[in-house]
Structure 1
């Protein structure tokens, strides 16, 4: 397996975990919180998909699907255009209430774009600096590993929340 294949596989695992966490759940369950300040499945999946869309668009110099493909309008969330969920309050996180089909549609679109972008990455590409705001500057390889780690953590959290809600009889 080469670098591109490894990256496509890793991002495919994010997509699989998201589908496992969301499929078959109604909007009420997706928006449920295990305590008043906990993140819901809906927020976790929206957030991880926004981060993936934002960070890969930045690393590859493309437009985010959030705006370019009309996902922002379809979601209708009361957040600024560039919001990814980072630094949001509990109340803001709690306002994400959307159908599972919408969450999965956005995730699938971002995954398809991601697979297209990373599917041709070479080892040399991984050394390209994509963010000079950090010391040391962030390379494409470091950014992609960071996005994979972050999105997999949040997908796992969404799966955990689903399990808690199912055991409580809420799902």
Structure 2
């Protein structure tokens, strides 16, 4: 029988694999193409979902984000604040995310590995630990991880849809 943390780990594995599949064979122009003038392009969607996962998991793990520890911020060289994750970005900010598939794949592998490293030390009982008291009710580790998974899957699905339209 699988534990809850095994199931959560499997979900993050599938997200990582989905990222590899969705960017496979796409050029930087493909990754930046918008279906409509205000639609988020594949490259931005994938960068954003990885940034959210990296930021959120590092926060609950009490660890440094892979974005910084493995110098992905420098490699991406985006014109944003170093801790930007994509939340609240303008149309122009979204357009500034010009990336390659290889860059996204490398970052995805690092984020997925860091997520699994963290989960290896998490028991099912740990999932009840409160990690954010700003909400009513306070957010537990389990709820935060499921929230990240849900957000990642929405953006991955959007990216897959956009790729289908290319």
Same fold (TM over 0.5): yes
Kindly state the Cα deviation for residue 158 of structure 1 after the two structures are TM-superposed: 0.5
Write the distance in 2 (CA, Å) between the matches of 1:87 and 1:12: 27
Aligned residues: 165
> 1:7 touches 1:119 (CA, 8 Å); kept in 2?
no
Normalising to structure 1: TM-score of the pair?
A: 0.94
- After superposition, the CA RMSD in angstroms is 0.8
Q: What TM-score results when the alignment is normalised by the length of structure 2?
A: 0.97
Aligned twin of 2:12: 11
**Structure 1 segment 130-149 matched on structure 2, within 5 A:** 130-149=131-150
Structure 1 residue 120 displacement after superposition? 3.2
Which SS does the other structure have where 2:131 is aligned?
A: strand
Secondary structure of residue in 2 paired with 1:28: helix
Once the 2 structures are TM-superposed, how far is the Cα of residue 18 of structure 1 from its aligned partner? 1.0
The alpha-carbon deviation at position 136 of structure 1 amounts to: 1.4
Q: Return the alpha-carbon distance in structure 1 between the equivalents of residues 39 and 151 of structure 2.
A: 17
Q: In the TM superposition, what is the alpha-carbon distance from 1:55 to its structure 2 partner?
A: 0.3
After TM superposition, the structure 1 stretch with the greater mean CA deviation from structure 2, 116-125 or 6-15, is: 116-125
> Paired residue for 1:168?
none
Which whole-Å CA distance do the structure 2 matches of 1:38 and 1:119 have between them?
37
Is the 1:53–1:110 contact (alpha carbons within 8 Å) kept by the matching residues of 2?
yes
Q: Which moved more, 1:48-57 or 1:62-71?
A: 62-71
Q: Quote the Cα distance in structure 2 between the aligned partners of 1:91 and 1:62.
A: 31
Partner of 1:155: 156
2:48 aligns with 47
Gap runs ≥5 in structure 2: none
For 1:104 and 1:44, locate their aligned partners in 2 and report how far apart those are by CA, in whole Å.
Answer: 13
Aligned-partner SS, 1:130? strand
> Which residue of the partner structure matches residue 106 of structure 2?
105
Query: Per-residue displacement from partner, 1:77-126 (whole Å, max 9, x unpaired)?
Result: 00111110000011101110011000110011000110111133212100
Aligned residue number for residue 78 of structure 1 = 79
Return the offset for 1:20: 1.4
CA distance in 2, matches of 1:17, 1:90: 25
Question: Bigger shift: 140-149 or 130-139?
Answer: 130-139
